[in-house]
Structure formats: structure tokens, C-alpha cells
Structure 1
Amino acid sequence: MTAPTPDAARPAARPGRPRAGDGRDTRGDVLAAAAALFSSVGYTATSTYAIAERAGVRQASIYHHFRGKDVLLRTLLLDTVRPSLDLADELLDAPGDPAARLWALCDADARWLADGPVNIGGLMRLPEVEGAAFAEFRQERDRLRARYDALVAAVLGRPAEERPAEATLVFGLVECVITARRTGGAEAVRGLAPLVADAALRALGVDGAALARARAAAAELVPVVPAAG
């Protein structure tokens, strides 16, 4: 069982990275309640009854939208990774400096992991996520990782299919936001995203002048980057 964190103690609210808004409906309330409970007491210890109670709905309402607890967690996980994957696809195909495109992706991805009332990224590290029920999420996350690999390769001037080892470091830097938020709460990661993006480029050997140019060029990609939810 996971000990409650400062984030998880807050009232339920719509979790995760940005996705299409559907108002405050039962489905959204159930997802928010599930995210808060999975993050605070763990997946195994959370019952659908507890989710319904926190969401303020009847237990039968959960099964109207979701077949079970595993579907709830899978939905939360996919909602977490897909906006980043969509953005990575856009940035990978965009023209211009690959360092700027990588900076924009790292910054946006880290912001999404830092924002919101619940540390939704922490759900990716639940042991249950290794099970067969969550194979689709793992595939989507692998696709996101491949986009990072390709952008890192472009920054290094290497073929995209090379999958440079440095990409592991960049991806890990972005996801360190999850651990930082778990240990220090939301306040600990406020404003961390641009520092993560800077660190990612410095880890690839980008010097100060080139980093400043990449940051400035990334600002021109703002219309491409969705606002954090």
C-alpha cells in the first residue's frame, strides 16, 4: 500500500494531461475519484465502492461507463500518454531546429506531469501496469519513447533508427518530475518544466548559445503546443 501524498489528499478533480473537455459528467467524476484513490492508497486497495463514494455516485454508475477497475486505470493511463504522443508526432514532423522541437516536447511533457491535483504520472509506475490488461498503454508509451529517440537522434545528427543511448537519459529527465512530485508534492515541481528541458539539451552537449536559440525557437512553436490542463 502506498502512503498518502500531499497531492492525493486534495479533493478529486479532473486529472491528467489535457484532453477533450466533456464537462463535469459522471464519467469524469469517476475518473477523477479513481485517480485520487489509486494515487493515495494504491490500485489493489481501492474498491469500486470507494471510488463511487468519493465521486458522489452510485456504484452501478461506474459499471455504466467502465467494465471494471482495470478499465478505469487503463483509461487514466491512456489519457496521460496520448496528448504527449500527439504533440511528439507534430513536433517530429515540424520543420526547423530539432533542438527547439525537443525542448518544446520536454517542456510540455514535464508541465503536464507537474500540473493537476493528482500525480497522475505516478500511476504509470504501479506494479499492476505490467499486466496484460495494460498492454495498450505500454505500446503507446513505447511509441512516445520512439519519438523522443528520433528527436534526440536529430539533435545529435544521427540516423533516426539508431535509437541513441542518450535518449534514455532525456526521457528519464522528463519523467523525474513524477518522482519529484511524489516526494515533494505539487509545489516541488512548480516551474520545473523549463529546467528539465534545459537539462535535456545540455545532456546532449548543446552549448549555452545554442540552448538559448533553441528556447527562443521553441517559443515560436507555442501555437503547436497545447496548454497544460
Structure 2
Amino acid sequence: MVKGSGVGRPRASGAAASRPDARQAVLDAAGELFTGAGYAATTTRAIAERAGLRQASLYYHFPAKEDILAALLAETVRPSLALAARLVAGGAPAAVRLWALAYADIGLLGGARHNLGALYLLPEVGSPNLARFRTERAELKAAYGRLVAASGVAPAAVAIRTDLVFGLVESIAVIRRDDPALDVEAHVREGADGVVRLVGLPEPTDGLRAEAHALLASLED
């Protein structure tokens, strides 16, 4: 359960609140509403209704709307952060590891059911309750920075190149917002290629892509 910081609300303890899929139903409903109607315009009552729950059942899992936002944003960064840790520690060529991380990360943001990356610019993301998300996102960016540095970029340019790389990766959320019917796989592949180019490495080849895909597959085992 996500620990909340909001005002206490009545919590349900019945079957509806504790059923295994109730928490995920809330997240699915909130993701749809936050990215559709907007975060500020979405009430917890609307989320509960969309999830097929009583409002009290929603509060059983999430004491406040901001706690739901925190849980949704965590889904956009934690899988990539876990992967990044393994790639940074790996021994494959830096270009392969960087392409693999960008490919997986853009795929996570672009292929999710709801365009949760578009929520990054919400003012609520700066609240104390979202501190863990901000920390994890910063850790992910730092992992990109280590791969950028390992690619042979001059130390003085690592920070700027990392900013550009991270911006390119997360830009899929804006592209997806403007074009909901976009070809996600094409954008994922071209985005990963673009990251390698931004760093100043040689043009990505089919061999590099194949090696990166094999690396990702090996890390799934």
C-alpha cells in the first residue's frame, strides 16, 4: 500500500475494498481519467465510479488522490531504473547498453496503456508526497549519465549530453499526446538510435540493435 500524506478518510474493509484487483482497478481508472479529463478535474469519486468501487473502498488503498498519482508515476520509472542498474554494471559495449536502456525506457513510456509520462509536468509532482518519484527519476537520469560517460564523451560535456538524452527519451509522452495513433515501435527504435547519435557514437547498425535486443532478452531471464 502506498503511504499517504493526505487528510484521513473513512476506509472500507469489505470484500470490494480488499479484492485482489481493486487496487489495480483504481490505478487503471485514475490513469485513464488523469490523462484524459486532467488531474485537477478528476475527483476520487469519479475514479471510484470508473473502477466499479465505492469511494470508501478507494480510500482503503489510497488515502488521497495524490497517493494515486504517486503510484502511477512510480510505474513509469521503476522498471527502467531496475534495468539501468543492471546495464550500468554490465560489460557490454557502452553503445549497446545505452541503446538498450533507451529502447526499453521509451517503450515503457510509449507503450503503456495510458500516457502517464504526460503527467510529469503537473505542479503536483513537486509536492512532498512525490519526493520518492523525483528521487527515482533523478537516479534514472544519473544512470543514463554514467552510460553517456562510458561512451567516451568528454567529462565537461557529459551533463549536457545527458540532459539531451533524457529529454529525447521522455519526449515520447509529448509526441504520444499530440498523436495518439502513432507507431510506437517505430518511435521506440528511432528514439534509441537518436540517443546513440546524440552522444556522438557511430551510427547505429543492425548489429548493434541485435546485440542490444539480445542483452535485454538475457536480462529478462
CA distance in 2, matches of 1:174, 1:180: 11
Q: Kindly indicate whether the alpha-carbon contact (under 8 Å) linking 1:52 and 1:59 is maintained by their aligned counterparts in 2.
A: yes
Which one has the bigger helix percentage?
Answer: 2
Confirm or deny that 1:221 pairs with 2:201: no
Name the residue aligned to 1:132.
128
Name the residue aligned to 1:53.
49
Task: Look up the equivalent residue of 1:98 and give its one-letter code.
Answer: A
CA distance in 2, matches of 1:103, 1:37: 33
Name the residue aligned to 2:168.
173
Q: CA deviation at 1:96?
A: 1.5
Q: Kindly indicate whether the alpha-carbon contact (under 8 Å) linking 1:180 and 1:189 is maintained by their aligned counterparts in 2.
A: no
Task: Look up the equivalent residue of 1:179 and give its one-letter code.
Answer: V
Q: Structure 1 stretches of 5 or more lacking a match? A: 1-22
CA distance in 2, matches of 1:155, 1:39: 36
Match of 2:59 among 60, 63, 72: 63
Q: CA deviation at 1:196?
A: 0.3
SS at match of 1:187: coil
Q: Deviations over 1:134-173 (max 9, x none)?
A: 11110110000000000011112556x9843111111111
TM-score by length of 1: 0.82
Match of 1:187 among 164, 182, 189: 182
Q: Structure 2 stretches of 5 or more lacking a match? A: 1-18
Q: Kindly indicate whether the alpha-carbon contact (under 8 Å) linking 1:84 and 1:109 is maintained by their aligned counterparts in 2.
A: yes
Instruction: State percent identity of aligned pairs.
Output: 43
Higher RCO (Cα < 8 Å, 6 or more apart) = 1
CA distance in 2, matches of 1:163, 1:146: 11
Matched positions, count: 203
